[in-house]
Amino acid sequence: MNRRGRKAQARIQIRKLRQGEVGLLQGARNLLDHPLDNRAARHLLADPAHHLWLASSEHRVVGFLRSVELLQLHTPRRQMFLYEIAVRPDSRGQGVGSMLVEAMLQYSRGRGFEEAFVLTDDPANKAAHALYKSTGGRTETTGDRMYVWHLAHSAKRRTRSTSAGRFISHPHFTGTP
């Protein structure tokens, strides 16, 4: 990241949305795949298994991440599924996506989740692959479109030695850790 990017990153605030904070989502509506439905958003934010993080710079939303936690059959530990992430085109390449992923990893690790994972939509999406790799996500088979961040060191079913998802505690993370 260049100097301009680092300066921009210093201004980014990451916030985890709480129940009822639908109004704040309005700022992210241009980043969503579908028009925002306030009722649906309120419903999602009221569900403790669904999570939304916003990245803002000078009161403008510049990115968001949505994830959902999953129960598993082999362990009481949960998985976090990174369902979608997007950064405004004029704010890309400045570390916003990394900060959002790291906030999600911090939250998941702090609650003892086994792992987080994401499915990439397109092998040609270089930015997405670079983002997941640079935050510690690992693919497990050739041609895999799934990146995994291992969060619990006792993940017995993994045979390959893969590093735990890198997490850098960020001073600008203001959401519930």
Ligand X SMILES: CC(C)(COP(=O)(O)OP(=O)(O)OC[C@H]1O[C@@H](n2cnc3c(N)ncnc32)[C@H](O)[C@@H]1OP(=O)(O)O)[C@@H](O)C(=O)NCCC(=O)NCCS
Binding residues (CB under 6 A) for ligand X: these are 1, 85-87, 92-98, 120-121, 125-128, 130-131, 134
Q: Which residue minimizes CB distance to ligand X?
A: 97
CB of 93: closest distance to ligand X in angstroms?
A: 5
Q: Which two tokens stand for residue 84?
A: 């979608």
Output 44 or 55, the one with its CB closest to ligand X: 55
CB of 161: closest distance to ligand X in angstroms?
A: 22
Q: How far is CA 46 from CA 18, 19, 20, in A?
A: 8, 5, 7
**Is residue 120 within 8 Å of 78, Cβ to Cβ?**
no
CB of 159: closest distance to ligand X in angstroms?
A: 26
Compute the distance between CA of residue 33 and CA of residue 74 in angstroms, rounded to an integer. Answer: 34
Output 41 or 85, the one with its CB closest to ligand X: 85
Output 46 or 70, the one with its CB closest to ligand X: 70
> Which residues fall within 8 angstroms of residue 74, CB to CB, at 6 or more apart?
157
